[in-house]
Structure 1
């Protein structure tokens, strides 16, 4: 009886894996040789998976900020309340290579603390 349900479940899982992998972008799109440091208030903070996000004004543009997964941020001491909209923080990360106004954040500095998101 169990085998009857296991085979279709395994087939659906196998067919879904590539879609999930394509939905999440790789980190190769970011320029790890060019560290960007921005101190500004955040807007549109998103506390969601596969990773959190926000927006920040930098170089006259609104940039998308790619954070880490919620579980990692919380495990390292970063809470949703600490990243509330309008709160100034210092973000350090890498910009996209293609010039899109988006950065992958490596660390967040606020209230005298430094939270490493990727190490």
Structure 2
């Protein structure tokens, strides 16, 4: 009886640790906001976070969006981002200089969608 409990506790700890590691937002500089108005490309509408790419300052940046359920609940759909139209992205860059941003809000078709 003790072995299954130990196994269950170990699995719970391992799962919790993986979830915490995934949400390591400390690698982004929240004091430095990037604002880009451009169409996104390479949109991957998938969990745990949707991703896309955008041209900014002569480089291609990876854009980390929110989970699908959150975006869709707040009114942001895949079609709104995939239409090739310029949209405004606001987020935080990675602190290490990697061309990647954690997206905080999107303005598309006159609508502002908060992602966090």
Q: TM-score, normalised to structure 1's length? A: 0.84
1:89 Cα deviation (Å)?
Answer: 1.0
Structure 1 unaligned segments of length 5 or more: list them.
none
Distance in 2 (CA, whole Å) between partners of 1:15 and 1:60 is: 41
Which of 70, 78, 82 matches 2:76? 78
In structure 1, the residue corresponding to 2:39 is in which secondary structure?
A: strand
Are the structure 2 counterparts of residues 15 and 28 from structure 1 closer, same or farther at C-alpha, using a change threshold of 3 Å? closer
Q: TM-score, normalised to structure 2's length? A: 0.86
* Count of residues in correspondence between the two structures: 115
Distance in 2 (CA, whole Å) between partners of 1:112 and 1:85 is: 15
Q: Which runs of 4+ in 1 moved over 6 A?
A: none
Structure 2 unaligned segments of length 5 or more: list them.
none
1:9 Cα deviation (Å)?
Answer: 4.6
